[in-house]
Chains A and B, each alone.
Chain A
């Protein structure tokens, strides 16, 4: 059974710093991996989608990597801003469903 783990559960960093969020999964037979952002009490916003054949995806200040063989993904956020404060969720895609991690609550200190 696929399990997705995100470490740390919470993270506070000063504004302007670069940071890395980690995601690991137990079964490497995935179709894709997605990173989402969730603001308090709101739905999810897709940030980056990496297909199983890809190694990384970039969007603006965000870069996500995928290492299927080791069951790991990272989300790199460059030059963090207070508006980046949110919960970041990692999810792996299998067949017609996706399995989510519990998320990392990120707080950027002004």
Chain B
């Protein structure tokens, strides 16, 4: 069966520090991968999606970036965090119409 992992589960970082969140999927190959953010009081927002290694599409302009160095690995990064980057970050994968979500990372930027 397929599983999706995200780490860390929680993270507190100061403004201006770098960020790296990792997501890995097991039990499938060549999935579509997604990064979402849920900010306080707001809906879930798609940040990036990838249909293959090295293929990244960005949905919103921001100081975040994503990379897919391996088929089942998706990384969300930032060189300098902003206060507005605080939120709940969810990774998801799909092979067809349904998306399956990871447990999420709670990021607090102080």
Give the B-binding residues of A (Cβ under 8 A).
4, 31-32, 34, 36, 41-46, 49, 51, 89, 91, 93, 96-103
Contact = CB atoms under 8 A, between A and B. Distances in A.
Interface residues of B, number: 23
Contacts of A96: 32, 49, 51
Nearest to A103: B43
A43 B46 contact: no
9 contacts: A41-B104, A42-B103, A44-B90, A45-B101, A97-B49, A100-B43, A100-B45, A102-B43, A103-B43
B88 A41 contact: yes
Nearest to B34: A97
B56 to A, nearest CB: 12
Interface of B: 32, 34, 36, 42-46, 49, 51, 59, 88, 90, 92, 97-104, 106
A100 B34 contact: no
B43 to A, nearest CB: 4
A103 B92 CA distance: 18
Given A43-B102, A103-B43, A49 B59 contact: no
A29 to B, nearest CB: 15
A97 B90 CA distance: 14
Contacts of A97: 34, 46, 49, 59
Contacts of A4: 43
B49 A49 contact: no
Contacts of B34: 97
A98 B99 contact: yes
A35 to B, nearest CB: 12
B6 to A, nearest CB: 8
Given A96-B32, A97-B49, A100-B44, A43 B103 contact: yes
Contact of B104 (A36, A43, A46, A91): A43
B97 A51 contact: yes
A96 B34 CA distance: 10
B42 A102 contact: yes
A43 B90 contact: yes
Nearest to B50: A96
